[in-house]
Structure 1
Amino acid sequence: MPGVTVSPLNRAFGAKITLPSYTNDPSKLNEEDFEELKKALLTYSVLVVPNQAGLSPESQYALTVRFDPTTGAHYGHDEKIFHSPLSVLAKDGKCVPRRPEVMMVGNGTFPAGHEGMKEFSLEHPSQSTFHKKVLTEEEIANHHTRFYRWHIDAALYEFSPPVVTTLLGVIVPPKTEKQVIYYEDSDEKLEVFTGATAFTSGKVAFSLLSEEDKKFALNTTVVYAPHPYIYIHNCRATSDGLTMVSEGKEMPLDKLPHWEESKLKKLPMVWTNPITGNPHLEFHSCCVYRLVNSTTGETVAELEKAREICHRLMRPAISPDHVYAHAWTEGDLCFFHNRGVIHSVTGEMPKDEKRLMHQCNVASGKDPK
């Protein structure tokens, strides 16, 4: 009986998966086939399984946690902090009532009945509410868009970053129109279908560094702000979505919800892939607080300089040649190694444009190394 079939995309990362004939539910793979799937995930970083429209939240959750034996039954964020009106994530989604680790994200208003929900509305993240310099009405009319926020899925306070995120396209915009990302610091541009999810590889990002920068990255720890998504609530992002503009608008530490020094996340700038052994440049520049020397603990860059350094190191990796922008087809199940890539929402959507995704990630029991 043929097992999992892996068909690499024609690029540095990413692959399409065909499931074996005995199941169309990836959470129900036998142990041998699941190990092949896990190996493919850690090798190719982003996997797509088509025709998963009927995948239940229970199966999506079961698949997600199967990748990480250390994980607990906790969404990747503290839900109270995630939904706080002071968090930049507050409007990002709603939990499936019976399986709250699965988050519904998207755009538009949906009638009662979906996964036990009453009528509910979702709002697609927009650069117009997050970036310092926003697109003009004319640019939007001319089909411009932006990378919204490059990130890893992680609370970056108290909880360890999830190993994998699964994302199911339940309702997606038709692939009838492309939008264009223009890079402000170059002549580059990238065409994407509306609502495409953009990925870049931490392995590729590390490989693009100079030898001096590789040495720096390997010896640097990223210290994240306490409750970072509240800390940056009043800040605005750079136009490429890589980090925040430093204007002194961060919430004072004594105004944040209660936090403890011992729960701050202090993570290496480079994470090692447990299957390939490859170094991956992995950090969330929007949430960085300072950079320290991994050996001595000495601070090497405070907030503004830390943001500048992180932006400079990661910027080459988001050039068009290194970005995979997944154009969604209804029923696509995309799962990605959350410790091997960073990703971003794209797309400008009118309020009546329907998009509904089921997203699941669960906090790990161990930090990456």
Structure 2
Amino acid sequence: MPEQTSIEFVPLDGQPFGAEVRLPSYTTNPADLNDADFQKLKEGLMTYSVLVVPNQENLSPESQHSLTVRFDPTTSSGYGHDPSLFHSAKSILAKDGRSVPTRPEVQMVGNGSFEAGHEGMKAFTLEHPTHHHFHKDILSDEEVARGQTRFYRWHIDAALYELAPPVVTTLLGLVVPSKNEIQKVVYEDTKEVKELVKGATAFASGKIAFDLLSDEDKQFALNHSVVYAPHPYIFINNCKATSDGLTIVSEQPPKEVPLDELPPWEPSKVKKLPMVWTNPITKNQHLQVHGCCVYQLVNSKTGEVVAELEEARKIVHRFMRPAISPQHIYCHGWNKGDLCIFHNRGVIHSVTGEFEPHEKRLMHQCNVASGEDPVLLN
């Protein structure tokens, strides 16, 4: 067999996007790619949106971090969230990860109890996110017993206050469920069914989302921006999500934390981002909205508010819902050692899977706040 001298991509069979990466023979560590091959990796990521690098169970947190920041020359040194807010007991993200002591930009996520020794940790416990804590209407015990799950929360990895959204997230599977365990999502509005491996990470393409819009809705998206709530994950801490995980149910009386009761915030640090972000390599337009954290929609040029909270959520849901239909999403069923690299400015993603407290799952996740906000290029 001839020596593979450069990085290669194999599109994922039968999937709407994504590719497997085959590393060149000179390294088994993607963080050690030479400049030419790393540039190909970056271009491949922007082209395929999600890349899977197998057999990376020995990838260190240091290598994962160095690989992640290499994608963005403007990147800051810190994690994609302010740690004091990310782990605040008043935030919906409070249980979503534990920092690796030697490389705090890398978060441990998963489920179950683990003995001392992993990356210098004392004994620790992780809790897999479940829709039972976050959705307004939940699955019955009978539905769960029949193998149903939900998209927990479709999102972009981003603080959405002060810090710019990370360009890339890397996610490494270390302890994973059996691929023989299959669960399913039943879409409440269409009754369609999506079967997936237990604990699969679901990805939806912002490009597909934009392409599926009507011409009228494309013009709206191109000319409007999203204002995100200050400290958005604290703002919605008492709220519940729609059954598809795309946005928040607006209730009366409102469950959102009043703005004057949030931690101190500054108007200049509130994020106003285009609804559509331009892929820097392909120049494709990606509809990229974190529907659970939306506060207002505004005219991008004038700043005029065109939709307040409840109406903004309805518009975003209508725009994004077609892109999470079964035929348009990629649900990655994990093998031990899979490293998923995804374009955080080109896809949204969601946790899936129902786990018992004793079931073990362990992953390393890394993203780092960018130095620049995403832009729309017409």
Q: Under TM normalisation by the shorter chain, which class is it?
A: over 0.9
Within 5 A, what are the aligned runs for 1:296-311?
296-311=302-317
Residue 226 of structure 1: aligned partner: 230
Matched residues, number:
369
CA RMSD of superposed structures (Å): 0.6
Amino acid at match of 1:357: M
Query: How is 1:1-369 mapped onto 2 (pairs within 5 angstroms)?
Result: 2-10=5-13, 11-247=15-251, 248-369=254-375
Structure 1 distance, partners of 2:265, 2:193, is 41
Match of 1:70, SS?
Answer: coil
Q: Deviations over 1:93-141 (max 9, x none)?
A: 1000010000000000000000000000000000000000011111111
Q: Is the 8 A contact 2:107 2:364 kept in 1?
A: yes
- Structure 1 moving runs of 4+ over 3 Å: none
**Paired AA for residue 182 in structure 1:** V
Residue 265 of structure 1 aligns with an amino acid whose one-letter code is K
Q: Distance in 2 between matches of 1:175 and 1:20?
A: 28
List per-residue Cα deviations over 1:54-95 (Å, max 9, x = no partner): 000000000000000000111000000000000000000100
Compute the displacement of 1:12 (Å): 2.9
TM-fit CA distance, 1:219: 0.3
- Distance in 2 between the 1:308 and 1:136 partners? 26
- Stretches of structure 2 lacking an aligned partner (at least 5 in a row): none
Letter of the aligned partner of 1:240 in structure 2?
D
**How far apart in 1 are the matches of 2:58 and 2:301?**
49
CA distance in 1, matches of 2:224, 2:260: 27
Distance 1:61 1:115 in 2: 14
Per-residue CA deviation, residues 260-280 of structure 1 (Å, 9 max, x unaligned), is: 000000000000000000000
State the distance in 2 between where 1:203 and 1:21 align. 33
Output one character per residue of 1:282-324: Cα deviation in whole Å (capped at 9) or x when no partner: 0100000000011111100000000000000000000000010
Give the Cα separation in 1 of the matches to 2:63 and 2:154: 28
Letter in 1 for 2:343: H
SS in 1 for 2:204: strand
Distance 1:148 1:339 in 2: 20
Q: Distance in 1 between matches of 2:302 and 2:269?
A: 20
State how far apart, in whole Å, the 1-side matches of 2:55 and 2:184 are: 28
Name the SS of the counterpart of 1:305 in structure 2: helix
Deviations 1:116-172 (A, max 9, x none): 000000000000000000111111111110000000000000000000000000100
2 CA distance for matches of 1:353 and 1:207? 39
CA contact (8 A) 2:199 2:351 kept: yes
Alpha-carbon offset, residue 177 of structure 1:
1.4
**Structure 2 residue matching 1:316: 3-state secondary structure:** helix
Secondary structure of the 2:171 match is: strand
TM-score (norm 2): 0.97
Q: TM-score, normalised by structure 1?
A: 0.99
SS at match of 2:297: strand
How far is the alpha carbon of 1:176 from its aligned partner? 1.8
- Cα pair 2:91 2:233 within 8 Å, conserved: yes
8 Å CA contact retained: 2:5, 2:26: no
Matched to 1:257, the amino acid is P
